[in-house]
């Protein structure tokens, strides 16, 4: 069966990370999200994959090429303008049953296979993968009866414990005709959910299959959730060097060329990439992923965070529930807070709007090349754009755009100073 991966989007809600990288290439447990999508497709015995690309398409094509390294046939089609999911699917071609999966979903392979099998065993023109979530406020809710979809509800009034559209579809070629007739939404886009609603209204059979494991990586904190899931399922290996006096849990992966220095204490599950330098006397707590050539030094504590390639926190820093982009550098004594003083849910600005993350503990999101000075602090939910800096002693309360600096202004009082 042919598979289509939708990976053309800009990923505005994932900024500042997506200023410099496409969302599908952001890593969890040492691998990009798209790697996990392709691995699931491979386990589902899918050999022909077409990726719809757009934003930073060269990065995606450069990584996956023609699919030889994946033992798959990978091709690409470009969506020049981001005009919606239905528009993206309309750019592909298939004269037989095909699978569509969003490039920002983390789904287990057995659930994917089960969805395909359910479609092939029935007579539906479309089968949707669904997932039950505690809060469906930002998803399309799926109402079903006997496994058949009755209605797709956007922005539902009832949000608790609902089945939502998981961004995984098995279609018959008839979907192309529905897409052609699909009107533009208020956002001037063609949405695939509208196309599916049109099929239901025409009396076509649209079925649903509930997935066992699924994460939509649409917001920065979703990346932490996907990272947690990936680490739980990771088979640990130790290829780097661990000095005497270091403690490393059995469920910690240490890649080749990495040195774990004496006094380091690492709790798993955790992942540490190639050629990194960890310790001495640091504390890495569970659900932390550290990339390649990263330095975590003396008296540094990292908790439930993702530290991307080339970043350095050499001494006396705390990083909690955060995402640190490529090539960042922390001055001594930098602290990234992850808990509000009132212990309420952390608020983060997405697309210019304040958003309740639903998390009591969430730190900062730093873009590529961010620097901090000694004894600086970044408050919970703050985002720092690429190549920006937080000066020595500064406390950052609000988001900092790309290529900006924040400094504490000191005033010199010019007068004689008497020594007693």
Catalytic residues: 315
Distance of alpha carbon 183 from alpha carbon 185, whole angstroms:
6
Lookup result for tokens 């994460």:
215
Tokens of 194: 């509208």
Q: What is the dihedral of CA 132, 138, 140, 146, to 10 degrees?
A: 20
Interhelix angle 33-43/109-121, nearest 10 degrees: 50
Residues 6 or more apart in contact with residue 110 via CB below 8 angstroms: 212
Tokens of 27: 């890593």
CB 254 within 8 Å of CB 247: no
Lookup result for tokens 């399922």:
233
Distance of alpha carbon 140 from alpha carbon 216, whole angstroms:
13
Tokens of 382: 């703050």
**Dihedral sign computed on CA atoms, order 152, 158, 163, 169:** positive
Distance of alpha carbon 339 from alpha carbon 378, whole angstroms:
11
Q: Quick one: three-class SS letters along 219-274?
A: CHHHHHHHHHHHHHHCCCCECCEECCCCEECCCEEECCCCEECCCCEECCCEEECC
CA 112 and chain centroid, separation: 19
Please give the helix or strand (H or E) that residue 200 lies within, else none.
helix 192-201
- Strands 160-171, 98-102: pairing is antiparallel
Distance of alpha carbon 231 from alpha carbon 224, whole angstroms:
10
Tokens of 259: 């040195």
Judged on CB neighbours under 10 Å (0-12, 13-18, 19+), 367 is buried
Distance of alpha carbon 111 from alpha carbon 213, whole angstroms:
7
Residues 6 or more apart in contact with residue 416 via CB below 8 angstroms: none
Distance of alpha carbon 400 from alpha carbon 204, whole angstroms:
49
């Amino acid at each position: 069966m042919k598979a289509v991966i939708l990976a053309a989007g800009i990923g505005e809600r994932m900024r500042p990370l997506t200023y410099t990288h496409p969302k599908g290439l952001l890593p969890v447990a040492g691998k990009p999200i798209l790697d996990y999508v392709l691995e699931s497709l491979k386990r589902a015995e899918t050999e022909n994959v077409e990726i719809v690309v757009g934003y930073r398409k060269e990065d995606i094509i450069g990584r996956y090429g023609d699919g030889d390294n994946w033992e798959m046939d990978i091709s690409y089609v470009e969506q020049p303008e981001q005009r919606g999911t239905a528009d993206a699917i309309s750019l592909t071609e298939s004269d037989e049953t095909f699978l569509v999966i969003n490039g920002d979903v983390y789904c287990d392979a057995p659930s994917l296979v089960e969805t395909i099998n359910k479609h092939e065993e029935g007579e539906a023109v479309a089968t949707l993968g669904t997932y039950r979530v505690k809060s469906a406020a930002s998803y399309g809710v799926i109402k079903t009866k006997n496994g058949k979809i009755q209605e797709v509800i956007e922005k539902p009034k009832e949000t608790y414990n609902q089945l939502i559209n998981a961004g995984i579809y098995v279609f018959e070629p008839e979907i192309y005709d529905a897409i052609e007739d699909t009107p533009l939404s208020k956002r001037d886009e063609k949405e695939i959910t509208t196309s599916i609603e049109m099929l239901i209204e025409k009396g076509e059979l649209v079925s649903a299959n509930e997935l066992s494991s699924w994460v939509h990586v649409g917001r920065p904190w979703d990346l932490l959730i996907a990272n947690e899931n990936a680490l739980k399922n990771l088979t640990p290996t130790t290829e780097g060097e661990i000095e005497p006096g270091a403690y490393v849990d059995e469920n910690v992966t240490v890649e080749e060329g990495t040195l774990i220095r004496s006094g380091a204490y690492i709790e798993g599950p955790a992942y540490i990439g190639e050629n990194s330098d960890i310790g001495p006397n640091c504390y890495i707590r569970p659900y932390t992923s550290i990339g390649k050539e990263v330095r975590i030094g003396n008296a540094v504590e990292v908790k439930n965070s993702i530290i991307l390639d080339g970043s350095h926190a050499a001494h006396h820093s705390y990083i909690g529930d955060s995402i640190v982009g490529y090539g960042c550098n922390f001055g001594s004594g930098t602290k990234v807070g992850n808990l509000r003083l009132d212990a309420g849910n952390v608020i983060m600005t997405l697309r210019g709007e304040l958003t309740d993350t639903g998390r009591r503990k969430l730190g900062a999101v730093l873009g590529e090349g961010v620097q901090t000075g000694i004894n600086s602090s970044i408050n919970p939910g703050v985002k720092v754009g690429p190549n920006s800096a937080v000066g020595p002693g500064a406390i950052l309360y609000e988001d900092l755009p790309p290529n900006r600096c924040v400094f504490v202004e000191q005033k010199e009082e010019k007068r004689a100073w008497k020594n007693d």
